[in-house]
Every structure is written in structure tokens, then in C-alpha cells.
Structure 1
């Protein structure tokens, strides 16, 4: 019997009518596998996943396939966004098997949850063949499968031998070499990593845009970074009509997206384009920021004041149908310049005679304001893609920080209001007593917040404190960091486990360190510790952050593109640290205070309990002084 009908995950509910006897991840299904001595099939995906839908239609809705699965396996469906910890373990298992990852992720486990084989999308015939092969192997070669599963389970465990230690006090400059290494992987024509499919990688963009301006110019970064952001904004990956970015482009030119839109991409890209605008004052970046914020509020804002997870790629069973256009539709706008600007073809520039809006030059979409308004009106008559209505803590917390950053740069009061309203909603919806939750709604048992949830939230509180100067936000950030120290510490590492010690059993506890489409939970936490050390004047937090950096820097140097958030934190706090000016009492003259180091390298911080100013560079502080003239003299010693 299919047991997904009482779930809250839209992805799981998509499968509630499959003839497969799906069960949610939990003790009931896991115990049944042991009791009946059956292998487990764990099938992992997410609501906006195109190939997940394809495999569902081809295989999981098919009676013949379902009968085989039901007879031979305990079948468990997992929403990777609801249980990222489960996904993390079994995606790593797939990599250990020498296979490429992706979704849907289908992994076969022994009854004790240990994996022995897996893959991603399978065509129906291949899937049926595989199911029979797995059944026969489990029946006739049990000992061999058990041995293989034991080996994979051992390889999934983290230990100190995987992480080298680097003495931060003895290492020479690493950022210039890391940037030069990253540059060799970048596409000089269209920007981004030089391969397809092509993902935006916001952490890498933000790292490049937070380098000191003089160093950035010296290393030749500005042209590469500008190309990257302009080409994405011109490409089909950006929704010229409605705002917001799709998850990735299937080609190397940002032309054809996989049309799903994710909250986590758009929250981070808001920050990336805001940082870029602050440095370049490119009006195209401002348009992207403003239109993406409008998209998020129009399409993903929930009645609770939180933001939903994503929009599907498909509508009416067709990928991209909502976002693409026939020539006849676009010709009805009666504007030849529009057709040329957006590379419109009479026969379609994409599949089935349809057109993706794709600009060959960085013209503003606002130049065609009338046409865009007409297309938006026509789009309202279409069937909308499905919305994944899960509300996830980490992505909402990241959006708080993005709203705050937009307010700091553009000065729009509504962006500050959006940040505070969202933070207030987070406090209401994601907290149960003193316990933070991963998602606002759940089916049976609450899911405790993961490390990325709490790390992103602590940063959101810190940024809110820096903006509003209200000490209550700093106290909340510190309370979260203390919870993390108590519940997520690793017995061997300065890094932290992804899951709380209170979480349910998994065969391995992972330590997330790579910055990919999202900054890693540990890199966000490291930044929180370093901020808290300065803001609370508690050296133990600073020591904690530096220890984390020392344990990861060796990997970051070797693979800089995939440790970009770590490198940004290291650059900001160790190699090219910002000047943090703590002030108490009179604040006259702060806004006008200027000096010859890059302006965005100076951060003003309220400091209760003192009169005057305290200048800190990284984790070193000068002696307190009473006037800005004396601060100016201290700054002069740095030049």
C-alpha cells in the first residue's frame, strides 16, 4: 500500500497515487525491511526535478514495474530538500561506487541501510532489468553484497585523517594563486565555469566581487566577472518577462535553462548582483536585483510571510512551456526590434517551434517595458508550473541577508522591511520551544534544523544587528552558535557535523565542506564565529573560526572553485582583512569618514560600554581612541 498520502512534501505527494508501495523515510519502513529481510530501494528527488517526473511517468506509474518493486523491495521515497542529510549520505555512496550523481537518485540498500548499488535516471526497460538483477543478487549472492555494503558504509565515515592542518600564521599569500587557478576554469566568452551544463555558482561570484578592488584589477578579475553576470542576465537562464533565474543552463552559453526556479539560487544571486552593482554601478545588475525581488514576492511568498522552495520546470506535462513562446505570439507584439534583440526565429530557436528569450547584448529589459507587460499579461492566462510549498529555514535565512544587502546598496526602505518581516516570520514558524526546525510544516515528527539552517540564520541575525544596531539580534546569533557547539560538534575535527546529535540514526554522519551551488554549512558557520568574536569581544569564537579555516585551507587551495565561500571568508578575515571600526557614544562624522583604502573594506560596528572608537583588522585590535583623527592615524599605518 502506498503510504505517502499523509505527507506534507509536495514531491512525496506527487507520488501518492503511484502503484508502487512507497513509504516515507522513517522507523516504520526501515524496521519492516529488517523484519521481512528485504533490500531497500531509496529513491530521492525534489518537486521541481524534471527527470524525476520523467522516471515517475515511465516507471513508477507503470503497473508491471510497480509489481516487481513491491514484490522484491521496501520502497522509500525521499524529498532531498526535506531530508538533505539522507540525500548527502547516499549521494556520497554513489560517488564512492564510481558513479555520477544527480536526481532522481536511486540507491539499493541492505536491510540495515548500508548501500551496495545505485544510479540516477533509468529508462523503463533498463530499470526492470536492474530490479531483477538486484533481486537475484540479494537472493543468490548475499554474502558478497553484504561485504560490498560494509565497505561502502566504512568509506562514508568522516575522520581527521581526511583533513590536513594548516598554520594560518605561517602560510604565505594564497588568494592570488587561488584566483589564477580559478581563472583557468572560467569561460572568457560567456562567463562561468567553462563546461556544460553550466550552473550560476553564486559563492564563486561573490568571492570574486569581494576581493579588494586593487587586487581584483591586478589579477584581471573584473572583465571575467562582468562577462559572467552580464551573460547570465542576457541568457535564457534569466526570465526576462517575470524576473528570477532558473537552476542551470543545459548549454555553455546560458541559452537554454532547465526551467525550474529555486529559492536558494535566487536569494544568493540577489547578493551576488548587489555586490557587483556596488562595485560597477551597472544598471543591468540593478534591474536584475529589483525584478528578482519582485518575482520572489509575486511567486514564492507564502501567507505565513515565509518563502516557498521552488517552481517546477514543467507545466501541462511539458518542460518550459510556461516560459517559452511561439513566433506568432511574439510577432503579435508588432515590434521588429524586440524580435531581433531576443533572437526570435520564425521556426523557433528551441524545441517544438518555441522561442526562448535570449539577448545578444546587455540591453535593459525595461527598454521593452510595454512588450514585457503584454507578455506578462498573456502568461497569466497560462497554466502555472507547480509550486513546491515547503518552507526551508536555510534558504529563508539567506534571503534575509540578501534583502539587507540590497537595502544597504540601493537604499530602498521596502527591502529593509522585507528583511525584518521575514526574520520575524522565521522566529514564529521555525521554532518549537527552544528548538529550531528545518522546515515550517512536517508530516509526523519535526525535523531538527541542520547545520546549514542554523549557520545561515546566525549570519542573518548578525547582518541585522549590523544594520539596526539592536543588541537583541546579536544575542540571538550568539545563542544559536552556542547551540551548535553543544549539539553539532565532531569528536575529532574542528569542523562540525551536518546533523544534530539529537537526530535519528543514519549509517554515517557527514561533515559538509564543499561550496557548490550553496555555500557549505561549515563555511557559513566559520564566518559566523569570526564575526561573533569581534562583535561580542569573545576570543573563543575567533579561535573557533580560525581553527576551522586551518583545517580546510589545504583543500581550498587545491580546489578553489569548489571552496569559494571558504576562500572569501579567509580573504576577508585573514589575508586581506576588512577594517572594523567599533564605535560608542557620539557617532558624528562616521558617514563622511573616508580614507584611502577601498571604501568597502571599512565596516562600522556599534559597541556598547565604551566612549570613542576601537579599530580592528581581522582579529587584531588597535588601542581604543577618542577621535576619528586618531583613527585616521591608525589606518595610515596600514597603507
Structure 2
């Protein structure tokens, strides 16, 4: 297909950047050479940041960046840079902080105007054509006619961007106690929606790390109220429209309070984390709904987001073509009442009750988003059929709808492979195998782990962040290392293959060499080998994905249990002490960190299995939800301290240890669990 315009983005691999490669705007990717040229030409930078599944990014592209009048003005007066925030979160973090400081809010598309060296002095999210052009003309006039004012504002904002990301060592801060943790959770619980799950607000985000910690806390402290809240949230999410009942997998978030109407984009990072969460919850509760969610979500990933090589793609767009060929959010997923009635025939009445094809399930313009709000038993009783008959009817109906839906125009795929998001999915698969016992999940996990090791690892022992079409071009960031280290440790626990533990330890040593800040003892988000930006950021607050520093602190604590002489435990303690002052006021934003309080203030167990049946017995132990533990195993002897001098030729022994000090070995799973 011939294109009227082609810009420098045609050389990139990111699907988001390639979507803009034929804009009349002379876009370029982020590159130090581009900034140098801007300085020579004394032109401000126009930096626009988005991602492939972003609805309003596409809208602004169509209204502004495909418009020749707008493009001409941008090309004449700015050096224009397009950034995929998923490839370059280091740049995105800085300009998102700047935008929030300037406007009080943020979002994508994120548009900033900066001095030629990258210091911002104006920012906005989506703007329609007239407002966009009017703003650019005002900014051009300001830049040309009052450079002193621009310089003053840019300098002040630069200082602010640096100040909000500073951390210091907090000496003699003491340990965060269990009593303090109880107070923090009690205050946090004031935001819980105990009826619909999640928080008392809209939109509603799943927040896997919040529920993961609260599950751990509830089990550790025997808090039935918190456990009930976790189960309510997991059930309501699985019942809601945010979950794709036809094809499996979760959308990004729900725009309402009942988890009904999603923002229809499906992200790998959400689904990887939610697989982990539901698998752990299943291990503790044996709720079949949770197992169903795990199985169906992995099936979705296997159908839609997996590369032949074993890597996982990033996302499916929220938008898809409707019946008239126009892009429309959710078009692929919604149903009309008449269509369902026609397709399902005599099964329709039961289906309509089950998924609320009524005012409760109606979205807009006659479209329904499937949502449950009653138990299977309640529906079966109403229709005077058995639960087995109901489940078979619903399963058959959903299979038919899936077949029909497959003929619709599907959402666009972002097929770049990101190390950190693959780490999260790898962890999800490991947890699914661990707690559900499906060998296919271990096969997927191992294939992915080998792919990451062979394609994303650099010759110097570091990592790349991205991979597409055989190319990896961007140095990895701390989250890439943190999530992959965590997944490799977990993969060792279910395989007892030392190769994965050695990989985790090697990557940890790399981060200590290239990411550690000696002053704060936290890790920078970028390597010391990366280009210099306005600041070298720390990622500390847990968001939809846990902060890379909180994941690293947990990794260090777990590795300390196996390599006690390396100093990993002291490092983890220092990191925790530097952030724990935030826990009481913002539990939601430090949920992943707070696992460390339970790990340090309660017993943390090292469980060693040694003998001919070590794999079988290890797998049986692993099925139990024991978050305050790490599991190791071998047939005879091993280099790990915990596995030395433990072998007894005639039997398989289980050792339950704390900081290397072990109780008397036992030969039965139940007796080992009693010791915990």
C-alpha cells in the first residue's frame, strides 16, 4: 500500500510507534541525537507519549496528527518526538510527574513541550484539533518572544521533578511492628467496598497486589473480615463485565462501581498478576470459581497473546471495528438482546437470567455487557434444573457465542514483547502450575523462561527490555530485572532446577552493580549505563504493578534465606525501613512492601525436601498456600546450605527451618505442615 507520508518511526518495532509512521508529522523516536539537533536548531521539543491500547491516543492521532494543517505547524516549529510509554517508562515517569505538577492530573496521551534539552514548560493530555493548534501557537510565541520566562519556568519545574523523587536512609527508624500493621490495615479498610468488592469509588481497578497482600495478611493474622473482603472482591470481579465470560481474561478496569462496563483493553500485566492472585486464593479456599478463572485466563493468553517462540505479547486494543467498519470501544465484546435470543433459542431464558440481559446488564445503545450477580444455585433453583444442567447449558451457550464472536473484526494486537510483563505472566503460570497442578502450565512457563533467557539476556549478563521481529533494542529497567528475578526464584521452587535460581542470583548481582544508590540503599529505575535524563528516578510506590523496589526487596529477602552470607537480608531490611513511614497513611500504595513486615515480624520458613521422592513431595507441599516460606529440594546433595548434609539414602526427609536452624526432619507432608 502506497502512503503519502512516511516518517522516521518506520524504522521502529513498537506497534504504537509504527501506527504513527505515516502521519504527516515528522515524528522521531526518543534519541539523544534528536535532542542534540533540537539544541542546534534552538527548537522546542514536542513530546507525545502513549501506548497501543490507548483509546484517546488514537482519537488524538486521527484529529490532530493525521491533519496536514496541524502537522505543518508542528513540523515548522518543533522537533516532534513520539514515545511508546511501555517501551520507555523511564521517560514517561518524568513527564507524567511534570504534567501532574503543572495541571494536578495526568493520563495518556501525555503531551509536553520542553526546552531543547528536554526540560518541560507546558503539558496536556488529549486536546481536540482547535485547542491543540491554539495552544501550540501560543507556546511558539512565548518561546520565541519571552525565552527568559520559559527558562525560569522550566528550571523551577526541573527542580520540582527532582525533589519529589528523593529518598534518604532513615537510621534508627526501628521495625514496623505487627501492631502498627494492624492499625494501617484497619485505616485502609475504611475504603473497602464490602458489598461489591474493590474500593468505594468508580472507576474500579482490580489492583492485584492490594488483594495479594490482604490475602496474606488475613491468613497470617486469622482476620476473617479481611478474608471475606478479599473473597468478595475476587468473586465480584469474576462475575463482572471486567471479566470476559466468553473468551476469558480481564480488561483493564471497570468504569462503574459494580465491575460491569470495562475499559475494554486487555493487558498482559493485568492478566499475569490476576492468574497469580486467583491461583493463590484457590489454594487457600478451594473455590472452584477461582480455578475456572485461572484456567480460562491462561487459555485466553494462550490463544491471543502468545508468540510461537514462547514470548508473550503486550495487549489487545480497547477499540475494534463495529458493523459499519468504524473503530468503536468494546464493539467486539458486546451483545444485543435480539441477537442473543436468536442465537441461543431455548437456552436464552436461563442465559439471560444468569448474565443479566436486563436493565442491570444494559450498557448503552442497546448493548449488553455480560455480568453475573447471583450464585449458580440460585439460578438453578429458579429454573428448576440441577446445577450440573445449568453449568452445561451456560457452557454450551458461551461456546456458541465464542464461535460467533470469532467472525467479528477483532481488536488490534500490540505484539511487542516486554521483559517485565513477561516476568509477571511467567510468575502467573508458575503459580497456576504450583496450586492447580496442570502440567501444561509448567510447559508454558519453561518455554517462556527459556525464550527470555535466550533472547532478552545480553552478553554482559544484563537484560533488554523489548523484543520484536528478532530485535531487542532498549536496555532493561529495574522492573524488568525485578519481575524476572521473582519469577525465576518461583520457577526454581516448582522444578528444583538450580539453573533458574542461579539466573535469579546472577541478575540480582547485576542490579546491585548497576542500579543501586549507595546513599539511600534503594535501586534506581535506570542503569548507570543508560543515557542521562532530567533525573535518575526511584520507583517506590506500588501501583497497578508493584514498584520495582518493593519487588526487589522481596527478592532479596527470599534469596537471603538461601544465600545467607551475601548480605541480601540486610539490604532488604534497609529498603523496608526507608519506606515504612508511608504504610499507615497509604496502605494501598505500599501493599507489596507490607509483605516484608509479615516476613520479618512473623516466622519465615525455609522448607527443604531431600531424597528420592523430593519432586513428588515438593509438589504436594507447594500446593499449600504458605506465603511466608521458600521451598528447596534435591535428590541427594546440593551446593545450597539448606541442602547440605541432609541426605538419608532410605527415605525422603522434609526439613522445616528458620534462618537455617531446622526442626527434626519428618517423612510425611501433614507432619511438616503441622511444624509450620
**Fold agreement, TM-score > 0.5:** yes
Displacement after TM superposition at 1:469 (Å): 1.4
Displacement after TM superposition at 1:536 (Å): 2.0
- Supply the distance in 2 between the matched residues of 1:425 and 1:17 (Cα, whole angstroms): 32
- Supply the distance in 2 between the matched residues of 1:482 and 1:211 (Cα, whole angstroms): 30
Question: In the alignment, is residue 27 of structure 1 matched against residue 32 of structure 2?
Answer: yes
- Supply the distance in 2 between the matched residues of 1:48 and 1:530 (Cα, whole angstroms): 36
- Supply the distance in 2 between the matched residues of 1:267 and 1:428 (Cα, whole angstroms): 21
Equivalent residue for 2:209? 203
Of 50, 57, 60 in structure 1, the residue corresponding to residue 62 of structure 2 is: 57
Question: In the alignment, is residue 392 of structure 1 matched against residue 418 of structure 2?
Answer: yes
Question: In the alignment, is residue 177 of structure 1 matched against residue 203 of structure 2?
Answer: no
Question: In the alignment, is residue 381 of structure 1 matched against residue 446 of structure 2?
Answer: no
Equivalent residue for 2:540? 513
> Does the aligned pair in 1 maintain the 2:218–2:227 contact within 8 Å?
no
Displacement after TM superposition at 1:414 (Å): 0.8
2:595 is paired with a residue of what secondary structure? Answer: helix
Equivalent residue for 1:186? 192
- Supply the distance in 2 between the matched residues of 1:165 and 1:549 (Cα, whole angstroms): 12
Of 25, 36, 39 in structure 1, the residue corresponding to residue 41 of structure 2 is: 36
- Supply the distance in 1 between the matched residues of 2:261 and 2:208 (Cα, whole angstroms): 19
> Does the aligned pair in 2 maintain the 1:273–1:286 contact within 8 Å?
yes
- Supply the distance in 2 between the matched residues of 1:636 and 1:415 (Cα, whole angstroms): 29
**Counterparts of 1:92-103 in structure 2 under 5 Å?**
92-103=97-108
Deviates more, 1:549-558 or 1:4-13: 549-558
Displacement after TM superposition at 1:626 (Å): 5.3
Equivalent residue for 2:637? none
Equivalent residue for 1:155? 160
TM superposition score normalised by structure 1: 0.93
Question: In the alignment, is residue 357 of structure 1 matched against residue 370 of structure 2?
Answer: yes
Of 508, 511, 532 in structure 2, the residue corresponding to residue 481 of structure 1 is: 508
Question: In the alignment, is residue 213 of structure 1 matched against residue 219 of structure 2?
Answer: yes
- Supply the distance in 2 between the matched residues of 1:558 and 1:348 (Cα, whole angstroms): 37
- Supply the distance in 2 between the matched residues of 1:84 and 1:360 (Cα, whole angstroms): 38
Displacement after TM superposition at 1:252 (Å): 1.6
Structure 2 stretches of 5 or more lacking a match?
A: 1-5, 322-326, 377-389, 634-641, 648-653
Provide closer, same or farther for how the CA distance between residues 163 and 493 of structure 1 changes in structure 2, counting only shifts above 3 A: closer
Displacement after TM superposition at 1:263 (Å): 0.1
Displacement after TM superposition at 1:531 (Å): 0.9
Deviates more, 1:249-258 or 1:59-68: 59-68
> Does the aligned pair in 1 maintain the 2:466–2:472 contact within 8 Å?
no
Equivalent residue for 1:326? 336
- Supply the distance in 1 between the matched residues of 2:177 and 2:27 (Cα, whole angstroms): 53
Displacement after TM superposition at 1:80 (Å): 0.3
Deviates more, 1:289-298 or 1:158-167: 158-167
TM superposition score normalised by structure 2: 0.88
- Supply the distance in 2 between the matched residues of 1:577 and 1:527 (Cα, whole angstroms): 15
> Does the aligned pair in 1 maintain the 2:242–2:262 contact within 8 Å?
yes
- Supply the distance in 2 between the matched residues of 1:322 and 1:257 (Cα, whole angstroms): 13
Displacement after TM superposition at 1:444 (Å): 8.7
> Does the aligned pair in 1 maintain the 2:417–2:467 contact within 8 Å?
yes
Equivalent residue for 2:135? 130
1:557 is paired with a residue of what secondary structure? Answer: coil
- Supply the distance in 1 between the matched residues of 2:268 and 2:134 (Cα, whole angstroms): 37
Structure 1 stretches of 5 or more lacking a match?
A: none
Equivalent residue for 1:605? 632
Provide closer, same or farther for how the CA distance between residues 577 and 20 of structure 1 changes in structure 2, counting only shifts above 3 A: farther
Provide closer, same or farther for how the CA distance between residues 625 and 545 of structure 1 changes in structure 2, counting only shifts above 3 A: same
Write out per-residue CA displacement over residues 15-60 of structure 1, whole angstroms, 9 at most, x where no aligned residue: 1111111111112321221111111111000000001111111111
Displacement after TM superposition at 1:340 (Å): 2.4
Provide closer, same or farther for how the CA distance between residues 149 and 352 of structure 1 changes in structure 2, counting only shifts above 3 A: same
- Supply the distance in 2 between the matched residues of 1:235 and 1:481 (Cα, whole angstroms): 39
Equivalent residue for 2:124? 119
Displacement after TM superposition at 1:570 (Å): 2.7
Question: In the alignment, is residue 627 of structure 1 matched against residue 633 of structure 2?
Answer: no
